[in-house]
Structure 1
Amino acid sequence: MTAAPQPADLALEHLHPALGEDLLTSITFFNEVAGRHPGALSLAAGSPNESRYDVADVHTAIDRFCDYLREELGYDERRVRRTLLQYGRTKGVVHDLIARHLRADEGITVDPEALVVTVGFQEALFLTLRALRRDHRDALLAVTPAFVGVTGAARLLEMPVLPVEAGPRGVDPDCLARTARAAREAGLRPRACYLVPDFANPTGIRVPLGIREELLRTAAAEDILLLEDNPYGLFPLDGARLPTLKALDTGRRVVYLGTVSKTVYPGTRVGYVVADQTVAGPGGPRLLAEYLARAKSMVTVNTSPIAQAVVAGRLLTHGGSLAAANRHEAESYRLALSQLLNGLARRFPAASGVTWTPPDGGFFVTVAVPFDVTDELLARSAEEFGVLWSPLHHFYSSPGPLRLIRLSCSALTAAETDEALDRFAEFVRAAGRDPAPARLPHAGQTATRPLPEGRPSAGAEGGTGEKVTGSS
């Protein structure tokens, strides 16, 4: 007999309204589909390739940081122990080393006191939005499509998000200005614009240097901040890097949001925010970072010093440079992205109706297909074809479906990528013939195909595909 449902203790209508929205279930949904199909190959995951991870390296990094505290900062054993194992400073205990990394790798010279070390990028973003959101009139602009964590965080803070079209150059400064002015005409206060200038998720577009300079001028003219997110900047496809917005910023218009999830380990959950803007108030001007730290002290108190020690040890081992620490990874991701593009070109000729925009770097490729892409189709792809990918409607604030799919190159081996693309091509052909969604599988069902063993990787032949012309 089926047990009678127990009466609920709370009603959803009595909780924050954002908690009932599909937007906040996106990441959980992807994890649940992957969990039901452990045999499915994932072209969805934007996580780093963990093949070079070694637990022993974590201990080595912590030891290296402790040696730094003793030998370079002159700490005695009691102070070393306290630094590593006590609550620690709200702004972080490795802010000086992160400032050294920014100077070495990004050309950003900043007072370490303008840094707050956070629990990943998400807390850095949340604290910044919380500080900027004074009342219901304050709005966030976001270059769209955008990472769902941005729109979700703003929604939890009841901060409206106004889309700014990405376009072929990553962002149009004129569109940014028009959106800000329209917001003011509607009675809103546009406070900041979120964007990823380097290899944005999900488009992979890199904003040209001239547009970056124009964006800074537009931000000054419209009196808004630019929230620069840079998780993929160390992974260009052509090996060439452009200066970040923050490196070009002479008017303190950029709040720089950083993370080491792609360059050290996601498991550290360490991010940071560079907030060197001055804030007028009682007692004279203070750094915006000081006010973010006040908010952090009421949310997470501080970021784990043990996790920070792992990051610091990695930095110290490589002379303060994450670019140096990630030379092998950068080459691996370049090859993986090239393999993904070449593999798409071989499997989808021009007459297939499948197109994509070749990205400039990072992990992602946006693919246009000739059918509506739904969450139900993703479940069908996992169950029947053993391959996962991301529907792009999750990256827009308006509901789907779109005819766009995001593929990632970062998490699979070369052999697995080749097999995953075979499965993806088979799925696309089947969905094009019969796009009717399958029912969502029950928990415990798994994909019908095993992981590949020893398949050769895709070769280097093939073109880069055609450009996506729309998102109908």
Structure 2
Amino acid sequence: MVLDSTTLHSSIEDPVLDRLSFLNEITFRYPDAVSFAPGQPYDGFFEVEDVHACLRRYAKYLEDSGAGPAQVRAAFHRYAPAAGQIRELIAHSLRQEEGFEVAPESIVVTVGAQEAMFLVLRTLFATPEDVLLLVTPCYAGIIGAARLLDVTVAAVPERDGRLVVADLERAVRAQRAAGRRPRAVYVVPDHANPTGSTLDLATRVELLELARRCGLLVLEDSPYRLSGPGPRPAMLKALDGSRCVVQLGTFSKTVFPGARVGYVVADQEVRDGRGRIRPLARDLARVKSMVTVNTSSLGQAVVAGALLGVDGRLSVLNAGAAEHYRRAMAATLAELERWLPPGRRRELGVGWNRPGGGFFLTLRTGFRTGTAALERSAREFGVLWTPMEFFHPFGGGERDIRLSISSLTPGQVVEGVERLVRFVEASSGGRAAAGPVPGTESDAS
């Protein structure tokens, strides 16, 4: 049987679905290239024995809580409840780390944050008139999830690398004037993927006030929150007095990626046609039961053991990694400055932002930075990166590059920046970039 592609869901032909696989494929073809492409944690902090220690710690916790041998065995080997079996520990961690209270019943444990996005979008977006606002550039996974689920999206471009809440308000009004319903806005407030930017406290408060006035939900994605040093602005969910924030979380960047455990905090109330109230999290769990059934019991057990080992304070567990990312970011910025001083940057039309931590920064160039340029960069210069156009749903970022520093050693940073600069100089030809170069002041993170 040969299927006609026009009979398949239209998203299958969407280029967004090929982007991550393209990066994986080109990384495989050029194994000796220094890669600024993957947005993954540095794996030097993960040890196999840590997994065993976490499992033993969780087993002891269950035993100390009164579970018998059969119950402990079931917690590791059987299907977990659809909503998850470690919700109490996640709620405790949020209390310890972020200082806000959430009922365990308002949490759903997911297969990474990506599943959390699917559950939330499938539950909240009912008609083509329901619109998801995306602060762009934004994580490609939310673009792909929306496309697969036929969710209508509208872009709210950052201005000078920042979310301007007034621009978001104008977008809400424009959508309503067109007869559509802005349902939610997706944001990554801390060390965002792909730009590395962080929302300051004043912008967070202003965003929540707009959401309250407009009846807009805020989907707060927070995977990189603990990947930077020093004090952090309060999480949006911690400031959420109106229950307008749905928080998406993951342990992939803190415990380890292979556990594939995330969560969603959805403490909003849903009123049915008969006036009865139920938690939104219950609806998400019902959707999950038809998607992945449950999140791996073993994965949850590992995460639980990790949380128990630090009394829920993931910043303690992640302190060494956060310092690694800080040093890697500082080294990358210093090497860029060394190879491309101000005069040379002006000649080439090149600039970059300066995040205070996290995985990512943005490089503006004077040439087209799509997949053909990436292929040439890998083949001729031995360096990989990600085209920023991957993170724009309706075009944009054609001259920009995302650099991820998270998985590189100090030696790879030095070698990688040298290769990258040689590629940029060879591709620029001394031409000035079209449009403004991103701000070079320090990011307020």
**Fold-level similarity (TM above 0.5):** yes
Taking only the aligned residue pairs, the percentage that are identical comes to: 46
- TM-score, length basis structure 2: 0.94
CA distance in 2, matches of 1:433, 1:165: 29
Q: Among 429, 443, 455, which residue is 2:425 paired with?
A: 429
User: Alpha carbons of 1:213 and 1:401: their partners in 2 closer, same or farther (altered >3 Å)?
Assistant: closer
User: Alpha carbons of 1:33 and 1:11: their partners in 2 closer, same or farther (altered >3 Å)?
Assistant: same
Structure 1 vs Structure 2 CA RMSD: 1.6
Partner of 1:199, secondary structure, is coil
Deviation of 1:84 (Å): 1.1
One-letter identity of the residue aligned with 2:440? K
Deviation of 1:433 (Å): 3.1
Deviation of 1:173 (Å): 1.3
Aligned to 1:39: 32
CA distance in 2, matches of 1:13, 1:399: 24
Q: Among 258, 261, 265, which residue is 1:267 paired with?
A: 258
Say whether the 8 Å CA contact 1:169–1:207 is kept in structure 2: no
**Range 396-405 or range 41-50, more displaced:** 396-405
Deviation of 1:398 (Å): 2.0
Q: 1:435-446 residue pairs with structure 2 within 5 A? A: none
Q: 1:48-447 residue pairs with structure 2 within 5 A? A: 48-71=41-64, 73-168=65-160, 170-237=162-229, 239-281=230-272, 282=274, 284-352=276-344, 353-399=349-395, 402-433=398-429
One-letter identity of the residue aligned with 1:172? V
CA distance in 2, matches of 1:285, 1:35: 51
Partner of 1:402, secondary structure, is coil
Q: Among 18, 26, 29, which residue is 2:22 paired with?
A: 29
CA distance in 1, matches of 2:212, 2:203: 14
Deviation of 1:236 (Å): 2.6
Partner of 1:373, secondary structure, is coil
One-letter identity of the residue aligned with 1:49? Y
User: Alpha carbons of 1:374 and 1:152: their partners in 2 closer, same or farther (altered >3 Å)?
Assistant: same
- TM-score, length basis structure 1: 0.89
Deviation of 1:159 (Å): 0.9
Say whether the 8 Å CA contact 2:326–2:356 is kept in structure 1: no
Deviation of 1:241 (Å): 0.7
Give CA-to-partner distance per residue, 1:198-237, whole Å, 9 cap, x none: 1111111111111111111100111110000111111235
Deviation of 1:400 (Å): 5.4
Deviation of 1:431 (Å): 1.3
Deviation of 1:466 (Å): 5.8
One-letter identity of the residue aligned with 2:61? Y
One-letter identity of the residue aligned with 1:31? N
**Is 1:467 aligned to residue 428 of structure 2?**
no
CA distance in 2, matches of 1:286, 1:296: 17
**Is 1:19 aligned to residue 15 of structure 2?**
no
CA distance in 2, matches of 1:52, 1:340: 20
CA distance in 2, matches of 1:176, 1:398: 17
Say whether the 8 Å CA contact 2:360–2:403 is kept in structure 1: yes
CA distance in 1, matches of 2:304, 2:292: 20
Partner of 1:320, secondary structure, is coil
Aligned to 2:435: none
- Structure 2 unaligned blocks of 5 or more: 432-437
State the number of aligned residues. Answer: 430
Deviation of 1:166 (Å): 2.0
